């Protein structure tokens, strides 16, 4: 028995010795220099990509061999493609949703009865970056007007804006001298939505930007599929004029991915006889996340909320999305 036991023990010791030696090497390298670490990372990355290429080639060979009988290409399993089933997903030609949307607060815009008139304002005594952000928004939304808030209560602003027949109100909130939130209020009957701003990049900080023209932009609203998403998308659509001027080749994109709404502003150019498009970013670049949607105009104390993000109750699964 003792002989049998001793043999594996010895082997273990040997292996331990090896591992300790191996462990020492990276420690020393970590101590040595940053360059070594970078080299290590690069070699790992190269190894991984090489392995991936090998796998791809194998699959390609199999596909060529089998021809038509080949298994269909697999879709990558991302968090978004495996999202939880949502009953409120709007199907095409859903009679009832159409009826609901035909009579909602945005219906007058979509029936072309009203033209958008947008007012942009900010927190009281806003600092320079918030003003800058407002100017950037003004650049994207044709015909928007900026007014200084001057410590006027937001409910009063809503009242005055309604009297002056504005159709939308945008209030940029700031914290720590940086814009951190946006309140969108559709006038005169609401609804109101509050978004958090993430990852804001000003035009100045983007490499290779172009100058914005005065043409009315095209608007792309991407991936707003649930009932809540529809409402939000319709709200964004109401900010922009009805007839885009295609001559300007200007496009504003609001792309929803995993409940984060990516705002981008581009000029496009067709190349190779319309087979390819080149994009030139005009800026700004930021991401929005919906926090709540309220029925009626801004009234956080007494208003009725249509949807509130309750983080501990709703965000229990990373595959559940609401927009």
Residue partners of 176: CB distance under 8 A and separation at least 6? none
List binders of another protein among 198-227 (CB under 8 A): 227
Min CB(306)–another protein separation in Å: 5
- Residue 262's nearest CA partner among 201, 180, 189 is 201
Min CB(192)–another protein separation in Å: 13
Can residue 303 be called a binding residue for another protein (CB under 8 A)?
yes
Helices (H), 242-322: 311-314
The CA distances from residue 262 to 47, 88, 167, 224, in Å, are: 33, 22, 23, 12
Can residue 304 be called a binding residue for another protein (CB under 8 A)?
yes
x/- track of binding to another protein for residues 50-79 (CB under 8 A): ------------------------------
Can residue 259 be called a binding residue for another protein (CB under 8 A)?
no
Contact 115, 108 (CB under 8 A): no
Residue partners of 196: CB distance under 8 A and separation at least 6? 180, 181, 288, 289, 291
x/- track of binding to another protein for residues 97-116 (CB under 8 A): x-xx--x-------------
The DSSP string of 60-90 is HHHHHHHGGGSPPPPPP--TTTTPPP-TTBP
Identify the helix (H) or strand (E) that includes residue 120.
Answer: strand 118-122
Our CB check for another protein shows the closer of 121 and 231 to be 231
Min CB(289)–another protein separation in Å: 16
Among 84, 95, 113, 211, binds another protein (CB under 8 A): 95
At 159, list the tokens.
């009242």
Can residue 289 be called a binding residue for another protein (CB under 8 A)?
no
Can residue 234 be called a binding residue for another protein (CB under 8 A)?
no
Our CB check for another protein shows the closer of 7 and 314 to be 314
**Residues near another protein, by CB under 8 A:** 87-88, 94-97, 99-100, 103, 227, 295, 301-308, 310, 313-314
């Amino acid at each position: 028995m003792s002989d049998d036991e001793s043999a594996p023990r010895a082997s273990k010791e040997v292996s331990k010795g090896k591992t300790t030696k191996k462990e020492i090497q990276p420690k020393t390298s970590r101590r040595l220099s940053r360059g070594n670490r970078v080299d290590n990372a690069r070699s790992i990355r190269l190894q991984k990509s090489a392995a991936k290429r090998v796998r791809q080639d194998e699959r390609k060979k199999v596909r060529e061999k089998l021809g038509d009988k080949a298994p269909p290409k697999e879709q990558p399993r991302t968090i978004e493609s495996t999202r939880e089933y949502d009953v409120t997903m709007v199907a095409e030609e859903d009679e009832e949703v159409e009826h609901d949307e035909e009579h909602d607060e945005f219906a007058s815009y979509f029936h072309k009865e009203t033209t958008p008139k947008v007012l942009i304002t900010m927190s009281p005594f806003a600092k320079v970056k918030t003003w800058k952000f407002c100017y950037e928004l003004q650049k994207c939304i044709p015909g928007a007007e900026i007014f200084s808030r001057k410590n006027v209560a937001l409910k009063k602003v809503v009242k005055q804006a309604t009297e002056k027949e504005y159709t939308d109100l945008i209030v940029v909130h700031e914290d720590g001298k940086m814009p951190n939130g946006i309140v969108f209020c559709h006038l005169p009957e609401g609804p109101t939505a509050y978004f958090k701003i993430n990852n804001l990049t000003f035009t100045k900080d983007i490499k290779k930007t172009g100058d914005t023209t005065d043409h009315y932009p095209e608007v792309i609203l991407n991936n707003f599929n649930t009932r809540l998403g529809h409402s939000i998308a319709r709200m964004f659509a109401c900010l922009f004029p009805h007839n885009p001027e295609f001559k300007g080749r200007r496009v504003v994109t609001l792309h929803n991915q995993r409940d984060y709404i990516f705002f981008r502003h581009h000029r496009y150019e067709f190349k190779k006889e319309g087979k390819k498009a080149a994009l030139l970013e005009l800026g700004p670049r930021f991401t929005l996340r919906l926090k709540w949607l309220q029925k009626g105009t801004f009234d956080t104390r007494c208003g009725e909320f249509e949807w509130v993000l309750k983080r501990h109750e709703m965000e229990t699964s990373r595959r559940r999305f609401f927009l």
